[in-house]
Amino acid sequence: MESGGFDHVEFFRALEASGARVLLIGRQALIALGLPVNTKDYDLWIHVDDAAAVNQATAPLGLVANYTPELARTRGRYVLENSERVDVLVARSVSTVDGVMVFFDDVWSRRERVEIAPGVSVALPCLDDLIVTKRFGARGRDADDIQMLEVLRSRRT
């Protein structure tokens, strides 16, 4: 157990064991891919039918959902929180700042898995899709992150 009472490996283990379709997005995904950025929050994009499974799996870690799965689905997002904060997108599709609709099922079909600890892994959008997800929030730091992701992409090709 980490200081602070939250074990991120157990968090990912619980998500994986739930069988829910969960994508790690946001800066934690960037870090997993190799970008040296800072963040304290976890950002997930989950399938619209899987909020209950995610909530049930993470409840033993003390994470509490701020909306019921039904209400979360209506709103398109919710938060799991205790001393940590997990922002959860729960939508079939999300619009970028340019109005381009991005569909969960498409991103999920192209996902990549990364190992978090022995026997524990999490799904990430592929690099191209991760760049697109950075256009959802459209904050200044998302633009900066896209520039870094594009540098990383150019290095891979």
Partner 1 sequence: MPPRFRMPSDEAVAEARALAERRLSAEEFNARVNAPLTEEERAEMLSLIDWFMRRYPTPAARLAQARQSYLAAERLRKAARGSD
Give the span between the Cα atoms of 122 and 152, in whole angstroms.
Answer: 20
Minimum distance, C-beta of residue 149 to partner 1, in the bound complex (Å): 10
Contact status, residue 131 vs residue 144, Cβ threshold 8 Å: no
> Which residue lies nearer to partner 1 by CB, 68 or 95?
95
60 is a contact residue toward partner 1 (CB under 8 A): no
Task: Identify which range of 15-23, 54-62, 68-76, 94-102 contacts partner 1 by CB under 8 A.
Answer: 94-102
Residue type, 76: G
Minimum distance, C-beta of residue 10 to partner 1, in the bound complex (Å): 12
Residues 35-54 that bind partner 1 (CB under 8 A): 35-36, 38-40
132 is a contact residue toward partner 1 (CB under 8 A): no
> Which residue lies nearer to partner 1 by CB, 36 or 60?
36
Minimum distance, C-beta of residue 51 to partner 1, in the bound complex (Å): 24
- 41-56 burial: b if 16+ Cβ within 10 Å, else e: ebbbbbbbebbbbbbe
Size of the site for partner 1 (CB under 8 A): 36
Give the span between the Cα atoms of 154 and 114, in whole angstroms.
Answer: 20
Q: What's the token pair of residue 139?
A: 């904050």
Residues β-bridged to residue 123: 23, 113
Burial of 31 (0-12, 13-18, 19+ CB in 10 A): middle
Task: Identify which range of 63-71, 74-82, 101-109, 113-121 contacts partner 1 by CB under 8 A.
Answer: 113-121
DSSP 144: H
Interacting residues toward partner 1 by CB under 8 A: 2-4, 8, 28, 31-36, 38-40, 97-99, 114-117, 135, 137-144, 146-148, 151-152, 155
